[in-house]
Chain A
Amino acid sequence: MSTSVEPRGWAKAALHVNGWFVYMFFYAPIVLLVIYSFSNSRNVGTWGGFTLDWYRDFFDSSNARGALSNSVKIAIFSTIISVVLGTMAALSLERFTFRGKKVFDALLYLPIIIPDVTMAVMMLLFFGEFFDVLDALFGLGLRKGFWSISISHIAFNISFVSVVVRARLAGMDTDLEEAAIDLYASRWKAFRYVTFPQIVPGIAGGALLAMTLSLDDVVITQFVAGPGWTTLPVYVFGLIRKGVTPLINAVSVTMLVVSMLLVVLSIVAQRVRRSG
């Protein structure tokens, strides 16, 4: 199977070393983190024997549990909304022509490229004004918390969802929709029975990606979260200020495992098409 463009001799050896080097660079910190989360010692970095105490502390702490439940609520809510809006945006961009389409297309990618801090400051300003206006007009007295965090997460997740769904739609022939309409399907039925089943893997992939991003976000969430509303990553960030304990390791490992599961699921979902 070897071809003439494959590296040979010292070049091949160097590439191997490079490969291992890169893996070490990536994963050594993660391995350390996982190991020390089981360490029975208050000092991070000294091994004091195996224990599950830190994990127990994490699940016993009402603050941590509260933050976890906040994170999950926001992740689920913002994912649902951004999947619906993102999929609709993807459909409109792939299947229709309208005035200002190019501008809409370019603007849709903006949340992916602007730095988190910029987005966070924008959101902070926006909610400061917006909630005041709502308060003045309707006397709602909204406070920062669930709604402000969710809306912020929806704002950047729409972009990611629509990118993923669009890639899927682009790979689907418009022929299929025409065939459905030729076979007596209404527009809606053509979507329901033909387009939707075709793009489900893309939607699922986008949803899992959105959920991961929502669960992991610190910067934006920290800016727009109000008092009493902490998500898990923000809680971890807060713990560090009080001193690093292996509890943080345990929390981080838990988040890591959940995130990795979601990413793997997202990849699997997007691959389904090839076998289907």
Chain B
Amino acid sequence: MFLVNLEKTLGRYSLFLGRVSAILLLLLLVNVFYDVLMRYAFNDVSIAMQELEWHLYSAIFLLGIPFGIQVGSHVRVDLFYERVTLRQKAWIDLIGTLVFLMPFVLLVGWYGIGFAHEAYALGETSGDPGGLPARWIIKSVIPVAFFSMAVSGLAMILRCINALRGVSDAGFDTQSPQH
């Protein structure tokens, strides 16, 4: 039961990131619309607002990836996967997560820390007049996102273990979300 609860708790964290991303997306729409309107109608351009566009856009896709792992929206080649039993799927996901996903996201996350820290230590800002300060904030989204992917990966491992122990098959009946 502990593992099932832990899996749910970790899952809630990823869902929270999805919610954050969704709100950032709506802000991005408003941001770009505002910039176009100001430039065209009022002949006014703000470099800071223009830079905010890519800050928002990159936070959306980076924070969205751990959310995507949680809700199973990452695309698979299913020539084989769709034909196997639930237990076999759980094995594939378990091994895939341990061998591919976890090492990859942890290593990138680890180098992401140094990357963001460098920007913090230098006090890096935008090089353009009126641009956004504190580049370390957006750069630190990289390690945050990749360690969050590891959290989602951990939830996936638990999900596979729970499925293999036969205590819960949650997550395997809802692969590939529908639109």
Q: Do A and B bind each other?
A: no
